[in-house]
Structure 1
Amino acid sequence: MAFKEALQKVLQLEGGLKLHRNPTEEAETYAGIYRKAHPNWKGWEYIDKGETPPFELIEKFYYENYYKYFDVNIDERIKDFLFETAVNLGVRQTVKLAQKVLGLKPDGIIGPHTLSVLRNANVKNFIKDFTIARIAFYTALANRNPKRYAVYLRGWINRTLEALSWVS
């Protein structure tokens, strides 16, 4: 699936083009873009005036902050799964998780060795193992800080399984 199609699926998981506030967050989120983490996103100027940001700003945000790191010569299913995961976990944590699954030293950097191993990975096995590792990561996070994260655990698992359904 190409970037624009993958982005549409990610936006569905993020709740669409809506402004909302999550219970444990300090600021609002629009189309999955959290204001506190991304206060300089140009879309906030539109939202603050009561307007809808141009979709091109959303596309640019997701490409520049997440997709471009995986826009390399790897299997499209892996690329899409990593992109979707990065939107939720961040690029560095996503790469570390992928590296652990691949048996590599998890440094969070997509270097030539990581790319080579990723290109040669059995796609079905990688997706299966990455799904399990991702759910384990979320579970450990919720167990470490239940007050803050337990409320999200079911949603994170459901999101992972939904993303798995597109790439399987």
Structure 2
Amino acid sequence: MSKLTFEVAFDRLIGHEGNFTDDKNDRGNWTTGIIGKGILKGTKFGISAMTYPDLDIKNLTLEKAKEIYKRDWWDALNANKIDSAIVFQVWDFAINAGMATAKRKLQSSVNVADDGIIGPITLDAINKSDLNDVLMNFNSERLVYYTKLSTWPRYGKGWTVRVAGQLKYAAMDN
């Protein structure tokens, strides 16, 4: 059961996600998720046009972003059922790389089928695993995932710094 509250997690997240960006080379900024196709609406507070194509990204308020993160990300992850040292790691990765990817990498970290469902089997495996092993395995999965992306040369340094920061939070939460 997580001791980390959504409020604390959100404050941490906004330390990484914030200002409006409309980098044309970032597929998340396009409504189709394909560079050069659809509308370049951008990303703000980590909320992307690719994930929310009908949202007015540029005029998104922090309050609305917080509501979206609680409803569509925190609750969808079953965050209140995951140990606090793990939950922020997975939640942050979900926001950065997609919910399905984060869930599958967490499942790989505890050696269960990576079907993207954080249900009783995955939760039981997490609870039976050594916490530090889960944290190290998960962040290893995360870094390997990033290095396989075609955008690694452009964004890899930032992703690596982000993971380093998350490891500090994992140590605090552990």
Q: TM-score, normalised by structure 1?
A: 0.83
What is the match of residue 60 of structure 1?
67
- Output the CA distance in 2 between the equivalents of 1:116 and 1:156: 29
Q: Is 1:115 matched with 2:113?
A: no
Task: Say if 1:127 and 1:56 are closer, same or farther in 2 by CA, change over 3 A.
Answer: same
Work out the percentage of aligned pairs sharing the same amino acid.
23
**1:5 aligned to which of 5, 8, 16:** 8
The separation in 2 between residues aligned to 1:45 and 1:87, in whole angstroms, is 15
- 1:74 and 1:3 mapped to 2: Cα distance? 12
- The alignment of Structure 1 onto Structure 2 pairs a total of residues equal to 154
1:63-78 pair list within 5 angstroms: 63-68=70-75, 69-78=77-86
C-alpha spacing 1:162/1:23, structure 2 compared with 1 (3 Å): farther
> Within 1, Cα distance between the matches of 2:49 and 2:113?
33
Deviations 1:54-85 (A, max 9, x none): x3211111112211123232211111111111
Which of 12, 17, 34 does residue 48 from structure 2 map onto? 34
Q: Which sections of structure 2, spanning at least 5 residues, go unmatched?
A: 31-39
Residue segments in structure 1 that go unaligned for 5+ positions in a row: none
> Does the CA-based 8 Å contact 2:20-2:58 persist in structure 1?
no
Q: Tell me the distance in 2 between the aligned counterparts of 1:124 and 1:104.
A: 17
Structure with a larger share of its residues in helix: 1
Q: How does 1:62-141 map to 2 (within 5 A)?
A: 62-68=69-75, 69-141=77-149
Cα pair 1:73 1:119 within 8 Å, conserved: no
Residue 155 of structure 1 deviates from its aligned partner by: 0.9
1:35, 1:153 → 2: CA distance?
21
Counterpart amino acid of residue 29 in structure 1: T
